[in-house]
Amino acid sequence: MREITHFIGGGATAGAGTRRSDIFDPNSGTVQAQVTLGVQADLDTAMAKAMAAQPGWAATNPQRRARVMFNFKALVEQNMDELAHLLSSEHGKVIADSRGDVQRGLEVIEFACGIPHLLKGEYTQGAGPGIDVYSMRQPLGVVAGITPFNFPAMIPMWMFGVAIACGNAFILKPSERDPSVPVRLAELMLEAGAPEGVLQVVHGDKEMVDAILDHPEIKAVSFVGSSDIAHYVYRRGVEAGKRVQAMGGAKNHGIVMPDADLDQVVNDLSGAAFGSAGERCMALPVVVPVGEKTAIALREKLLPAIEALRVGVSTDAEAHYGPVVTAAHKAKIESYIQMGVDEGAELVVDGRGFTLQGHEDGFFVGPTLFDRVTPQMRSYQEEIFGPVLQMVRADSFEDAVRLPSEHQYGNGVAIFTRNGHAAREFAARVNVGMVGINVPIPVPVAYHTFGGWKRSAFGDTNQHGMEGVKFFTKVKTVTQRWPDGGANGLGGDAANAFVIPTMG
């Protein structure tokens, strides 16, 4: 059995942990490898390497650090095909989608290539008599990232791209369900010129996460995953005195106004609801047609589009989406479908019991559509994270604004309309962090910033963009005066030495 081990210092390390977790091939349902689950001693080994490497890396000038990022970008591009196949083989998403996963992460690396500019501080000349004030951004030291299974390339790069460019050493604890791509990225960073110990990967589950959260020398933790765990990570990390940003789950709504271009909506919705088998935190699993006429027309157009969806193995170039990540996740999605039925929603298309010929044990779930879902239903309130689209009919624009605004999650939302005023009002008033206007998956570009509201994020800084730079650096502000020996009366005023200094 192939074993996926930690990447500590400059290479593969077996570690001290004795527990293992299975890595499946979601297309066939078989176990293809095992990942080592790490323990405190493994983290300690990685920490010793990180702490040894970080001061030298921080002292490397930003332009040289940026050159490592440029090299890394080129290496990832050269290895794109291999990375996409590796990613699909453990996650189950189709190859083209895996390329997108890598590409969206690379865009953050491109952003990080601009780190010399991004780290420039502020300067005030003559803030007082002979006094100048300036600020500088300095790295925190050793920082860590804990990432989910659904974007095993993009989300690690969101974090380590910015953190490492800022001069930190980074310890990555990827999802134990698809850990191979993160290890490969660490190998490529080494090849790109990052010194040993600057990017390391430790595997594990709760035991390793707790070790990271409690380690006194880890100064910041960036987390992405489900909300209950995000909240737990946030609380425990903050209690230990760290900076923590913890992104959680989602239930994004797509509002369809009566004047929307329904053909475009159906096309966008199919991809946003069912792409990657719905395993995206920016998927659109809830559609809200405004008015009865819109609901009827939308449903009529949606049905054939859903029936035309091709579910296939991840290497099938024609497939719209592949299997979900594990048998346990498939069972969870199917139990939510049953819950929807029990709660009285109308099951229009049932994806349960879907099998693919020749891949009967693969973790496939067919596309599923519910109509007449209501906000009181638990299957609406909770995140399903599968290829399940729920239609909630709204009577008015006000109802449509209220639904996502009152939902426990507030990651993304989209409105489809031709009415600029309605779109503008919606964007201003909706209580959600990322908004799309005729854009179904409004994941902000790398030089903007990613983050939801409410239970979709704990902490106060977003991922990447300047927010990422702020999260991974601390500001030092220097107030300086160079005494002139008394020639110009700038030597200080003995009579006022005991009064809080003012610049007046």
Binding site for ligand NAD (CB under 6 A): 146-151, 173, 175-176, 205-206, 209, 224-226, 229, 247-250, 281, 383, 385, 411, 452, 456
C-beta closer to ligand NAD: residue 268 or 279? 279
Gap between the Cα atoms of 214 and 324, Å rounded: 33
- Angle CA 366–374–381, to nearest 5: 70
Where do we find the tokens 């789950």? 249
* Other CB atoms within 10 Å distance of the CB of residue 431: 14
Gap between the Cα atoms of 227 and 250, Å rounded: 8
Gap between the Cα atoms of 390 and 414, Å rounded: 15
Q: Which residue is nearest to ligand NAD (CB)?
A: 225
Where do we find the tokens 């426990």? 408
C-beta closer to ligand NAD: residue 179 or 291? 179
Cβ(365)–Cβ(387) under 8 Å? yes
Q: How far is the CB of 409 from ligand NAD (least distance, A)?
A: 8
Q: How far is the CB of 88 from ligand NAD (least distance, A)?
A: 17
* Other CB atoms within 10 Å distance of the CB of residue 28: 16
C-beta closer to ligand NAD: residue 397 or 472? 472
- List all residues 6 or more positions away from 302 whose beta carbon is below 8 Å from its beta carbon: 266, 269, 270, 369, 389
What crossing angle do the helices spanning 154-165 and 180-192 adopt, rounded to 10°? 30
Burial of 304 per CB tally in 10 Å (0-12, 13-18, 19+): exposed
Q: How far is the CB of 462 from ligand NAD (least distance, A)?
A: 9
Q: How far is the CB of 158 from ligand NAD (least distance, A)?
A: 9
Q: How far is the CB of 446 from ligand NAD (least distance, A)?
A: 14
- List all residues 6 or more positions away from 17 whose beta carbon is below 8 Å from its beta carbon: 36, 37, 38, 39, 42, 204, 207
Give the HSE-up count for residue 289: Cα atoms under 13 Å, Cβ half-sphere: 25
Record the tokens describing residue 198, joined without a space: 């600057």
Burial of 58 per CB tally in 10 Å (0-12, 13-18, 19+): middle
Which one is catalytic: 281, 298, 373, 441?
Answer: 281
**Residue 376 has what DSSP assignment?**
T
C-beta closer to ligand NAD: residue 172 or 290? 172
- List all residues 6 or more positions away from 35 whose beta carbon is below 8 Å from its beta carbon: 3, 4, 20, 21, 23, 176, 179, 203
C-beta closer to ligand NAD: residue 25 or 383? 383
C-beta closer to ligand NAD: residue 202 or 423? 202
C-beta closer to ligand NAD: residue 57 or 458? 458
C-beta closer to ligand NAD: residue 260 or 286? 286
Element (H, E) at 246: strand 243-247
Q: Which amino acid is at 39?
A: V
Cβ(89)–Cβ(201) under 8 Å? no
**Residue 444 has what DSSP assignment?**
P
Q: How far is the CB of 224 from ligand NAD (least distance, A)?
A: 5
Cβ(400)–Cβ(392) under 8 Å? no
- The answer to whether residue 113 is catalytic is no
CA-wise closest residue to 92 among 33, 152, 35, 34: 152
Q: How far is the CB of 212 from ligand NAD (least distance, A)?
A: 9
Q: How far is the CB of 422 from ligand NAD (least distance, A)?
A: 27
CA-wise closest residue to 176 among 9, 283, 280, 38: 38
C-beta closer to ligand NAD: residue 149 or 363? 149
Catalytic residue numbers, as ranges: 281
